[in-house]
Amino acid sequence: MPRDLPDRIHQQRRDLGDRIRALRKGLPATQERLAEMTGIDRRTLQRIERGTSDPKYSDLALLAEALHVTVADLVRW
């Protein structure tokens, strides 16, 4: 069952997804290509970019590496 999260958390997840999407497009790479580069399921990546998923730290680390940034750059508030 999904938990009720404050609106600020939902916004932070959307902001994270927006940053990941912008960095991915700057490569340029498709979601499918980024999924291949990281080993993250494409549907999981879609949910992360939409801000509807709480990514695991290991996924953030893989994404940061593929996008040539630090995890801190991805999750900055």
Q: What pLDDT does 55 receive?
A: 95
What is this structure's pTM? 0.91
Give the C-alpha separation, 46 to 17, whole Å.
9
pLDDT, tens digit, for every residue of 9-50? 999 999 999 999 999 999 999 999 999 999 999 999 999 999
Start-to-end Cα distance in the chain: 27
Rounded average pLDDT over 51-76: 96
* pLDDT recorded at residue 1: 42
Mean pLDDT, rounded, for 58-73 = 97
Does residue 51 come out as left (phi exceeding 0), alpha (psi in the -120 to 50 range) or beta? left
Q: Which domains, and CATH codes, for the chain?
A: 7-75 (1.10.260.40)
